[in-house]
Amino acid sequence: MKFKNLEKIKNLESTPKKVSIFSEKEIKMILELYKNLPETRFNKKQNVRKKAWLQNYNKELDKIYFSKLKDVLGDFKMDSLKSETNEDYFGLFHESFSPLPLHVDTGFDENTIIYKQVITPLITPGDTIVFKKRWYGRSTTFTVDEEELKFKPKPGQNDRSSAHIGKEEFDKDMYSKYLNHLDINNLRGLKVEMVYNWKVGESLIVDRTHIHCASSRIKNMKLGLTTFTKK
Ligand SMILES: [Fe+2]
């Protein structure tokens, strides 16, 4: 896949940014919403429980969330899939019991002008590791496992690729501190752009083209909300 508006996508890119846009009360409201939402999917392989933010469960919170994102992102559209009634999901809650592997969330539509993703930690500790390297193909999970590379994705599933690999050995300190759940050969040539230590009350805004993953630092489980946006 090749994005039709690649230049526009690149022009919208910026460095990752931490913001504090939600009050303690709003975070509580988001957690309450999470409890009330129906479960969407339990991905056994990734050991993650996902729930989609359906609109109209808490209309007041829908409004607050959208307008606060607009304050920091400017004009944007939601791009986190749609419900059965064709309403945009406002995000995906992901409750992880083990760290997510190396991937990119560029989506599956070449016509989309992908923009930022907003990650809001709800239960810590945890980290998101953002790499400098960017990816301009479909959503992909990166691996050096020969078997895994044979995986043929169904619509809506990530590609598998090892094309991110470079020559240089990955930083050993960084590896042992945050990334020892991964094969170090899967990190060859990569450099870290940002280690984002999750803090409740903050959100991380990062381009959808950045390769990223979770750190190995999970205590039982962590819970976050991610909203994918487009222009
Ligand atoms: Fe992601």
pLDDT at site 92: 94
| 99-116 residues labelled b (16+ CB within 10 A) or e (exposed) | bbbbbbbbbeeeebbbbb
Q: How many CB atoms lie within 10 A of CB 43?
A: 13
CA–centroid distance, residue 62 to ligand 1 (Å): 22
pLDDT at site 105: 96
Query: Whole-model pTM?
Result: 0.95
Share of the chain above pLDDT 90, in %: 86
Nearest to 93 by CA among 81, 106, 108: 81
Residue 169 amino acid letter = E
Residue 56 has pLDDT above 90, yes or no: yes
CA–centroid distance, residue 169 to ligand 1 (Å): 24
Q: Sorting pLDDT into bands at 50, 70 and 90, what band is 156? A: confident
CA–centroid distance, residue 216 to ligand 1 (Å): 15
pLDDT at site 62: 97
CA–centroid distance, residue 198 to ligand 1 (Å): 14
CA–centroid distance, residue 228 to ligand 1 (Å): 9
Q: What is the pLDDT of residues 160-196, one digit of tens each?
A: 999 999 999 999 999 999 999 999 999 999 999 999 9
Residue 44 has pLDDT above 90, yes or no: no
CA–centroid distance, residue 107 to ligand 1 (Å): 11
Contact 115, 229 (CB under 8 A): yes
DSSP the chain: ---TTHHHHHHT----EEE----HHHHHHHHHHHHHSPP-EEETTTTEEEEE--TTSSHHHHHHHHHHHHHHH-S-EE-S-B-TTSPBP--EEEEESS---SEE---S-TT--EEEEEEEEEE-S-EEEEEEEE--SSSEEE---HHHHT--PPTTSPEEE-TT--SSPP-HHHIIIIITTS-GGGGTT--EEEEEE--BTBEEEEETTEEEEE-S--SS-EEEEEEEEE-
CA–centroid distance, residue 168 to ligand 1 (Å): 24
CA–centroid distance, residue 56 to ligand 1 (Å): 25
- Rounded CA-CA distance 52/70 in Å is 20
CA–centroid distance, residue 100 to ligand 1 (Å): 8
Q: Lowest mean pLDDT: which of 18-27, 33-42, 222-231?
A: 33-42
CA–centroid distance, residue 20 to ligand 1 (Å): 20
CA–centroid distance, residue 172 to ligand 1 (Å): 23
Residue where the block lists tokens 């193909």 = 137
CA–centroid distance, residue 96 to ligand 1 (Å): 12
| Pairing between β-strand 222-230 and β-strand 114-123 as defined by DSSP bridges | antiparallel
